[in-house]
């Protein structure tokens, strides 16, 4: 009896020690997040050192300290989990991107964005895959199978434009920002869809029908994911408009918007769709309809809440990547041949540079053929910036690499360890080196005077417009026309109008449909919700 009691007590003690260790780890991690925010504020003037590089540097320094105190056994506080990344950290980042995006610029360049993000990613994936197959075998890496090579193509085709977007300003360079931002979202979705398709297809029996099946599956996922996000956003707008939840509680309005946004992502994952595309378009629809149906206090709260969650998630990701880069278990497998790991990383960087150039410049040329106005065309300098912006790799690449080459964050195979360490090396090098060179490159290619004049023109247009709030006219942001000017545009009356001025024609058709049907049903700009009334005000009414 006494032995059983002591055994139970020892188990309780071990459980307590484990829980206490988790609490200590979380305390340190939260303190590091606070340090990242403070240092990011102090380094605000030196924008070539952005928050991503700051978080990576703090993570690396923390990893070194943990290695010293643990005797070289561990370098991180938390175990990396793909579920943690894809289910909890990625949704708020993508949703806030859709919620805050300048929709006018995004949809004007939608075809170019899809070309870069979807077609371009497929081209880059093909080049990286075939390049890796040819070069890695000559380097003596023979244990990788066809599925691994295809997965490598998807892993390193996934861009991370966070560093560049922190430097670019969507008011100063609206075209560049919309192209880089839009391509990044579509690229991430395409890379994840590619990766999942590779794992689901039987690669032992490849025939011509597999390519058609893959293309059909991709189009289905793209369209279905987009429609699911749109429908979820419209449902949230309809519920809030009809129920006037803000009469009783603004907290319920904010909570419902957040939960509906997260529900759209989880529904997409449940239906094996692209959660990235779904939550992105849900954010666009919510900012156009739902956001205007809530009370004024809820608008301010939601706007800053979504931005805060996104910022914390981004900082969390880069901080952990910095610590995980020094995971001694993975480096121990390649310690006997460090030259191989460096060579693999160099090859992958070269393939990334080549694969991105192979589609940015040709697709930009094709895009310019469809543009009549010189201001709408992508100049060569802008093409260089877009090419450079997509060279950085980040958390999506690491998450996909862990999914392919590890089991629960650990690996026992030398080839898998080489791929993990090479992925970490590519992410660190591209984020730090390419990220630090981004600001000087933009200053050199897009002179400050030119960006300042562009900003001044935009400010003049906004000041002459009836509405100065950037969120009050979501689909007209960064437009060259004010609300009154667009009403005076010639209404499209024939196919010739559509072919000669497709952007203005489609916009006029959309405004007519939006004002005549969508806004009366789902609310939006112009809808004035019932303001919440306090109990004191209610008593004064009687």
Max intra-chain CA distance, the chain: 92
On the question of pLDDT at 373 being above 80, the answer is no
| Least confident segment among 215-219, 327-331, 340-344 | 327-331
pLDDT in tens, 161-184: 666 666 676 677 778 888 888 888
- pLDDT above 70 covers a percentage of the chain that reads 74
Contact 416, 148 (CB under 8 A): no
φ, ψ dihedrals at 400, nearest 5°: -65, -40
φ, ψ dihedrals at 410, nearest 5°: -125, 155
The predicted pLDDT at position 285 comes to: 93
On the question of pLDDT at 462 being above 60, the answer is no
Residue ranges of domains in the chain:
1-70, 82-445
For the chain, what is the mean pLDDT?
77
The predicted pLDDT at position 235 comes to: 95
φ, ψ dihedrals at 407, nearest 5°: -120, 110
On the question of pLDDT at 392 being above 90, the answer is no
Contact 167, 96 (CB under 8 A): no
Give strand pairing partners of 407: 410
The predicted pLDDT at position 230 comes to: 95
Domain 82-445, architecture per CATH: Up-down Bundle (1.20)
Q: pLDDT tier at 536 (50, 70, 90 boundaries)?
A: very low
pLDDT in tens, 466-481: 333 344 444 434 333 3
pLDDT in tens, 96-148: 888 988 777 788 888 899 899 889 999 999 999 999 999 988 887 778 888 88
- What DSSP line would sit under 478-526, residue for residue? T-SS-HHHHHHSPPP-SHHHHHHSHHHHHHHHHHHHIIIIIHHHH--TT
Q: What is this structure's pTM?
A: 0.79
- Between residues 16 and 49, the one the model is more confident about: 49
- pLDDT above 90 covers a percentage of the chain that reads 20
244 conformational bin, left if phi > 0, alpha if psi -120 to 50, beta if neither: left
- Exposure string over 446-460, b if 16+ CB within 10 A, otherwise e: beeeebeebeeebee
């Amino acid at each position: 009896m006494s032995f059983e009691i002591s055994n139970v007590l020892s188990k309780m003690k071990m459980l307590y020690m484990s829980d206490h260790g988790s609490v200590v780890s979380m305390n340190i991690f939260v303190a590091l997040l606070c340090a990242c925010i403070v240092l990011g504020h102090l380094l605000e003037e030196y924008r070539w050192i952005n928050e991503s590089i700051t978080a990576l540097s703090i993570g690396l320094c923390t990893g070194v300290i943990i290695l010293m105190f643990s005797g070289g056994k561990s370098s991180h506080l938390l175990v990396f989990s793909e579920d943690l990344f894809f289910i909890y950290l990625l949704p708020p980042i993508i949703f806030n991107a859709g919620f805050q995006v300048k929709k006018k610029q995004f949809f004007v360049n939608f075809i170019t964005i899809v070309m870069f993000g979807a077609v371009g990613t497929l081209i880059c994936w093909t080049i990286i895959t075939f390049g890796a197959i040819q070069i890695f075998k000559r380097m003596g890496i023979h244990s990788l199978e066809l599925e691994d090579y295809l997965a490598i193509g998807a892993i390193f085709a996934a861009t991370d434009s966070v560093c560049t977007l922190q430097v670019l300003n969507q008011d100063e360079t609206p075209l560049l920002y919309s192209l880089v931002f839009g391509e990044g979202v579509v690229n991430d979705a395409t890379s994840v869809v590619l990766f999942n398709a590779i794992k689901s297809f039987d690669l032992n029996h490849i025939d011509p029908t597999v390519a058609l099946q893959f293309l059909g599956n991709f189009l289905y996922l793209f369209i279905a994911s987009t429609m699911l996000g749109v429908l979820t956003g419209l449902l949230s707008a309809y519920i809030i408009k009809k129920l006037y939840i803000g009469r009783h509680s603004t907290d319920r309005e904010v909570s419902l918007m957040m939960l509906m946004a997260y529900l759209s992502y989880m529904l997409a994952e449940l239906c094996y769709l692209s959660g990235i595309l779904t939550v992105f378009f849900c954010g666009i629809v919510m900012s156009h309809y739902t956001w205007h149906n809530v009370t004024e206090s809820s608008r301010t709260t939601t706007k800053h809440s979504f931005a805060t969650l996104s910022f914390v998630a981004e900082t969390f990701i880069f901080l952990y990547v910095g610590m995980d880069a020094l995971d001694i278990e993975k480096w121990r497998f390649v310690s006997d041949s460090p030259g191989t790991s460096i060579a693999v990383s160099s090859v992958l960087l070269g393939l990334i540079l080549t694969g991105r150039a192979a589609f940015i410049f040709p697709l930009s040329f094709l895009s310019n053929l469809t543009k009549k106005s010189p201001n709408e065309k992508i100049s060569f300098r802008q093409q260089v910036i877009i090419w450079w912006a997509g060279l950085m790799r980040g958390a999506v690449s690491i998450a996909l690499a862990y999914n392919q080459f590890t089991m629960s964050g650990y690996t026992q195979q030398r080839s898998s360890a080489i791929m993990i360490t090479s992925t970490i090396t590519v992410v660190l090098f591209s984020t730090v080196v390419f990220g630090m060179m981004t600001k000087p490159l933009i200053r050199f290619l897009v002179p400050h005077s030119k960006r300042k004049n562009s900003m001044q023109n935009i400010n003049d247009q906004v000041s002459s417009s009836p509405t100065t709030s950037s969120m009050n006219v979501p689909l007209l942001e960064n437009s060259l026309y004010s609300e009154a000017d667009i009403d005076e545009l010639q209404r499209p009356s024939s196919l010739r109008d559509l072919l000669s001025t497709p952007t203005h024609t489609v916009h006029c058709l959309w405004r007519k449909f939006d004002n005549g049907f969508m806004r009366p049903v789902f609310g939006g700009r112009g809808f004035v919700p019932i303001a919440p009334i306090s109990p004191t005000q209610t008593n004064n009414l009687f």
